[in-house]
Structure 1
């Protein structure tokens, strides 16, 4: 062990693991972690937003601990695992002289730092990217059956972590097209696809809802250089913090003398250029490019070993980063040391305040797949549901069985958008939420509307419209109202209007259980000049109308 990992390396790795455990214990969850914790309450081979790896990690963590550490334990393990794999990839014998430099450089990368304990899909993505590069390097030396099987399984692990993994695999393949003639490479691909079959099946059984949402349903906004492309460039800087000049200079100076070096360069440049092009169409998020931290960390460390002058400056900047990031990490747990109120601050307080007013009854949050699981986590498992309306977005609550758990129950309906209610509470950011008690809650958010064409003529009269009722009971038409939402070219909802509709079967007064009911309808006029899309929406029992159809192209 000490031949591959010097004692100093193991001591520092252990110290970092202990630090991340302590951080995990004392830091409240961020909203995304609470959402993925909610995933883990019902393990499945897929979820609305992501593949299931993040849920599996949380479930494994929960077997040993409760609370925040029961969400983050596996992330702490994968965090140090990523560093151990990176160290193992580096073959330069001089690395043993610069163990401290290695840890300082890795700690200086802000997102690589915090994903060492936060449980997000990027945490396993980073680990499996590092492991993929290690096994790929071995595969280049010897395409044995063992390396082939391992490579296939690791590729599956990548894809089970986050869909961005396809870029990692693609750019590594692009760096070495000789692999297309390698039977063992094809066998590795076959093994990975075979291991990925459960998620393919989940996508198929759920009508590819994840793919449709990410590719076609997400709203956008008009392009601006500052908000899109300049913001993306700043994200590239933020991923490496104070050492970013050296990281990118190391990338620029590296020559591709071997196939593995080419893989590192193609992966780094490929991800950077892919999301640069994407930034001309939509806003990119900082963590979307975090995977470049793996190949570029290897390149930067190699450059550090070989250049004494740069090594000194990287060492100094890394120490400064260490100080700043340690202060920031303390601030995540202790709000007065943090410059802003962040997601890890005050969650227990607002949950306790709401619970004191609502008691133990279920909570229905309007348009908040974030607060719903956060309340469930910190309230000790109180039943919650996110009622998504047409002004919001689809999420895991759209497709799972959570709605059934609040049907017919007395609930507290909580919203940020009500003017008055039976009670109210406030979070640390100053948001005032109001709530009302509903004695017999009833919603039908799984009703789906279907048009006969992907392109809808707005002037069309007696347009056919189908409504599928997946529930086990018939739903009286008097309980629902059908509306249409008009969207601009960026799929932003601009207005909603009621639709006049009549059942094709004369005299029908309800939606048949587990069946399709056919209607004709006429779409109301709209004065929107940039009307480009529409979607159908059903409201029930006076609630805000839900997301009840896909987005259709609209033509006047």
Structure 2
């Protein structure tokens, strides 16, 4: 199959691969990449925000290179492999005469281009979507044991990449409901579930923390048409750039003439419809819809081969797109090309070194920044960091792993915007200022849990039963803890705090025993400044700002 690919294709592919390698080596990490690099330092079957595929790719990359390329190398490899798979998915024999047009089409797709070198969960998602579609295509021709097993493996790889992958699988299934009668299709489901079982077990062991966060605990805002729904349509344009009118025109003109084309159409329209509906509830991030680039690359290129007018305009606008993209890619490396605009890949080494010059080799605790903590650790070569997440922020990987123990009892540099007595500060090139101070014996207890058994809370009511769980292997003195009620909007954004003093159910309790639970009686004070949708019980330890100890509970 690969032997039938023309040499010219490999020439273009080599140029694409080399360009991405150069870009990867010369571009500083963006914050999400640093966060996923932090994942990879301790491989697991799951992480707070995502399944483990992105961490696995980074770990493999680190065996080949150091630095930024040690994070991105496998992304360059699989993005190049992705173009081969896309090429194999196109059956039209005319394609051999239009290899430059194919590369121009995919290169001009803005986010598909960016994920050619950035290492993010969407990078393997795109690759395994292509692999899944190729396997499904051959499954339609010859449904048998081997194709069923391979289809199951591809589905599992998709789900290991990103939870959004479920949309790919579901919409392809909807395009061909007769699959429910196919024993080999059921075999593929069984294989997928078997391969995915380690992640299911990880979710179970971690109280389904990822699912709960994404579905129930993520903060939101009131609906805003411009920000949400109009922003969704802007994203549909942004992922294709100037070629978008002809991309969507080709989509509208394509008919589901066979089961595979029907799958591509269902996948594209299904994802668009799903996130259009979602836009009435929350802001849809651009990368959430990026998966439509895969079916559209196939559908649009097939349409170009039979419609010279569309091909002409996509080529013209694609060239402009490609030039702009190359310019922007150069700007990722050299900021002055982007004028006064600072992107995430600019100045990270500079601010990291600036802080390190101040604090030296001691660990650094960043309050409310799962972005800065791993970036600092990466560019200092492994100085321990920790993200201390408080009630004004959200939980992340630092909330569930053992990173808190790396800084416990040590002298740390503590950076936070909640500091009023800072002993040093550092201002980044983009104007952001870090305020810091030194803490000689740092101790936080952010894994303490505050559990209220009620399904809803009535403000100004007394006598609630509060359970405080101490998961640590040491006792914690109650004198070190201060309890508060955090008041949240109906969209789970914190709007206020009130101190409370829970009464222990048993007299004489002076500490929280290790690996144990203590019962308290708690009164919930009223809050009249703003409408309250939820409350959560939180704890401040050793004078630190309160954490995220309790779950949001609806207010009556």
Q: SS state of the match for residue 248, structure 1?
A: helix
Whole-Å Cα distance in 2 between the matches of residues 263 and 320 of structure 1? 31
Q: CA separation in 1, counterparts of 2:195 and 2:483?
A: 43
In the other structure, the counterpart of 2:320 is 320
Q: Superposition pairs for residues 48-59 of structure 1, below 5 Å?
A: 48-59=48-59
Partner Cα separation in structure 2 for residue 459 and residue 420 of structure 1: 35
The yes-or-no answer on 1:63 pairing with 2:53 is no
Q: Which shows bigger deviation, 395-404 or 462-471?
A: 462-471
- Secondary structure of the residue aligned to 1:105 is helix
For 2:432, the equivalent position in structure 1 comes to 431
**Corresponding residue for 1:548?**
549
Displacement of 1:528 after TM fit?
A: 3.7
| Shift of residue 419, structure 1, vs aligned partner | 3.7
Asked whether the 8 Å contact 2:155–2:192 carries over to 1, the reply is yes
Give the distance between the partners of 1:344 and 1:366, measured in 2 at CA. Answer: 21
Q: Quick check: 2:459–2:527 contact (8 Å CA) kept in 1? A: no
Query: In 2, Cα distance between the equivalents of 1:27 and 1:538?
Result: 40
Q: Are residue 22 (structure 1) and residue 17 (structure 2) matched?
A: no
Per the alignment, in what secondary structure is the counterpart of residue 455 of structure 1? coil
- Give the superposed CA RMSD: 0.9
> Residue in 2 aligned with 1:358?
359
> SS in structure 2 opposite 1:456?
coil
Shift of 1:501: 1.3
- Tell me if structure 2 keeps the 8 A contact 1:417–1:433: no
Which residue of structure 1 lines up, in the alignment, with residue 81 of structure 2?
81
Inter-partner Cα distance in structure 1 for 2:75 and 2:3: 26
CA deviation profile, 1:460-484 (whole Å, cap 9, x unmatched): 3121101000111111111000111
Bigger mean CA deviation after superposition, 435-444 or 519-528: 519-528
The answer (yes or no) to whether the contact 2:461–2:525 under 8 Å persists in 1 is no
Residue pair 1:416, 1:431 contacting (<8 A) in 2 also: no
Do structure 1's residue 140 and structure 2's residue 140 form an aligned pair? yes
Residue 531 of structure 2 is matched in structure 1 by: 530
Note the residue ranges of structure 1 that are not aligned, 5 or more in a row.
Answer: none
> Any unmatched runs of 5+ in structure 2?
none
CA positional deviation for 1:3: 4.7
Contact persistence 1:500–1:523 (CA under 8 A): no
CA contact (8 A) 2:503 2:521 kept: yes
Aligned length: 555
Contact kept, 8 Å, 2:62 with 2:71, in 1: the verdict is yes
Q: Distance in 2 between matches of 1:440 and 1:189?
A: 52
CA distance in 2, matches of 1:150, 1:305: 30
Q: In the TM superposition, what is the alpha-carbon distance from 1:529 to its structure 2 partner? A: 4.4
Alpha-carbon distance in 2 for matches of 1:377, 1:147: 42
Name the SS of the counterpart of 2:451 in structure 1. Answer: strand
Map Cα deviations across residues 281-334 of structure 1 (whole Å, 9 max, x no partner): 111100000000000111110111111111111111111111111110010011
Q: Which residue of 2 aligns with 1:228?
A: 228
Which residue of 2 is the match for residue 471 of structure 1? 472
Which residue number in structure 2 is paired with residue 90 of structure 1? Answer: 90
Q: Distance in 2 between matches of 1:160 and 1:4?
A: 31
2: distance between equivalents of 1:516 and 1:501? 14
Q: What is the aligned partner in structure 2 of residue 410 from structure 1?
A: 411
Counterpart of 2:254? 254
| Aligned partners of 2:38 and 2:374 also within 8 Å | yes
The answer as to whether partners of 2:362 and 2:413 remain within 8 angstroms in 1 is: yes
Write the distance in 2 (CA, Å) between the matches of 1:13 and 1:238: 24
Alignment partners' CA distance in 2, 1:196 and 1:342: 36
Give deviations 1:502-551, integer Å, cap 9, x for gaps: 11110111111110011101112210442111111100010000000111
